[in-house]
A = this chain, B = another copy of it.
């Protein structure tokens, strides 16, 4: 139950161990084409270039930004946690003109504030983290993006912890969005994936390349070829993982994006109801993500002991990522093929681990609160 790598469908894992077929075979090209097309549907993107590269979310951040700036471009980072800091680090290699908008800890970015900053400064590119894995805060990308539709500024959405679990549409006004395979797409880690809209594509064509492996000018023909069922090569693709991704995207689209988002909402609500009932404080003050829950431990409960007890009781949770407070909170990932079963297991383990560590609670009370939510929605299994 950590916020990625998550648990996978058996057929996704099975796809991982198929004998690797040639990356230039018709069979693989067909799989690659399918995966790219399905990706466009999951991102709800039209007239956009999808990309799938061997890498991780960290590489996706590079691909999603470096292709759309020049040396010393002016950029704004909307920073609601650990991965905002990382954008600053990334940009520091390519430009000196980096602005940062950092709302107080626990709060999402104010769309009005973003609008004002963007109006005042002619940014070449702005990044926003849809759901920051370190805080569980979900930014209001819909309202933020709306303002970019008429601008030349490229809006980049880091969807690593949201795409596939939270509502998302490229036509909100997003120019570039990306995620990594091991999050809500339900595939083992090893792929950086995303889409690039037409405005960003045009800007890319005008800029000279700042990088090599992440240079989409090189890769775009590979992806366009694959979509036309033709071979293409810039680097050997991760055949097994792309095959697994294709299987997982099939499950995702079979469930349907609307039902899938709703499912994540109910699961998120169940977790929050249980956590509140148990008397724990959430890290976000508002704007809660539905893909993970982030909450403080009660006074006196030592994180290390709590996490190791919970693990013994059957569930692995993640510690904190925000340096100053990383030992005071813990994170529960609930994205992908998550169901009511994971709510029961997790809240059950949390109750027993808290009690074991001296916290005074009524066993079963968190579970009862979660049951009320799950029962209200008549919640069934995802697949």
A-to-B contact residues, CB < 8 Å: 2, 4-5, 7-8, 10, 13-14, 16-25, 54-59, 61-62, 66, 89-90, 93, 180, 182, 188-191, 209-215, 234-241, 311-316, 318, 339-341, 343-345, 347-349, 351-352, 355-356, 362-365, 367-369, 371-372, 374-375, 378-381
Determine the chain B residues whose CB is within 8 A of the CB of A352 once the complex forms: 340, 371, 374-375, 379
Q: B16 contacts A240, CB within 8 Å?
A: yes
Interface centre among A311, A344, A372, A375 (most CB of B within 10 A): A344
The 3 tightest CB contacts between A and B, nearest first, are A364-B368, A58-B235, A17-B17
Determine the chain B residues whose CB is within 8 A of the CB of A20 once the complex forms: 5, 7-8, 182, 188-189
Chosen A-B contacts, 12 in total, with CB atoms closer than 8 Å, are: A2-B22, A10-B19, A22-B316, A54-B59, A189-B239, A213-B214, A344-B345, A363-B375, A364-B365, A364-B371, A365-B368, A367-B368
The quantity of this chain's copies bound in the complex is 4
Residue of B nearest to A347 (CB): B344
Residue of B nearest to A215 (CB): B93
Q: B18 contacts A14, CB within 8 Å?
A: yes
Partner of A54, one of B4, B56, B356, B372: B56
Determine the chain B residues whose CB is within 8 A of the CB of A356 once the complex forms: 375, 378
Determine the chain B residues whose CB is within 8 A of the CB of A61 once the complex forms: 212
